[in-house]
Amino acid sequence: MNMTLKAVVSAAVLATLPMVVQAGENRPVTSAKQIVGCYERINFSPELMKQLNPVEPWIAPYQWFCFEPNGKLSSMMSSEYEKHTAKELRSVLGTMPTPFTYQYVGNNSIRISDDAGYERYDWFSYFYTEDKAAPDGTVVKKGTLVMAVPDPSGKKVIYWRYLKPLK
């Protein structure tokens, strides 16, 4: 995708930001180094989750991710909640294969790909710069990494992820 088209796609995606994330309240991701760390997906109320993501391709509601400095991405999902620190999560994920990589591809986008070449998603990515309450009352904290996958036309977001950094 050329840079002009990427700029148009980025502007179109920004126009679809939900109430939880509004354009003036974000710091765009501008390098892969910025997202290095471990995160836990924020789960909003079922009603808001359905609004944000009408189709949920990942069936487990609790999700954790570690973006490593070497470009590897590890993740795990569960039907039951477990509290983790970044150190604990890295310890658990360190015993599992890491079939995904990530890289910054410009225009506030992080590309996540599987090693086999079957999956590749460009996520428009931003950090929250202040705390804000979502419509369901969930407080989204400063430092939350917000990632959005646009549809093929680039005109609307088809999937959102709000990731709380772990310490």
3-state secondary structure the chain: CCHHHHHHHHHHHHHCCCCCCCHHHEEECCCHHHHCEEEEECCCCHHHHHHHCCCCCCCCCEEEEEECCCCEEEEEEECCCCCCCHHHHHHHHCCCCCCEEEEECCCCEEEEEECCCCCEEEEEEEEECCCEECCCCCEECCCCEEEEEECCCCCCEEEEEEEEECC
pLDDT at 58: 87
Q: Shortest CA distance to 162 belongs to which of 26, 24, 59? A: 26
pLDDT at 155: 85
Rounded mean pLDDT, 143-159: 92
Contact 62, 76 (CB under 8 A): no
Rounded mean pLDDT, 89-99: 93
As a whole number, the mean pLDDT across the chain is: 87
- Report the percentage of the chain scoring pLDDT > 90: 75
Tokens 């995708």 belong to residue: 1
pLDDT at 154: 83
- Report the percentage of the chain scoring pLDDT > 70: 85
pLDDT at 59: 83
pLDDT at 16: 46
Could you report the per-residue pLDDT of 52-84, keeping only the tens digit for each? 999 998 889 999 999 999 999 999 999 999 999
Please report which confidence band the pLDDT of residue 18 belongs to, taking 50, 70 and 90 as the band edges. Answer: low
162 pLDDT more than 80: yes
- Whole-angstrom distance, CA of residue 39 vs CA of residue 8: 29
Contact 126, 28 (CB under 8 A): yes
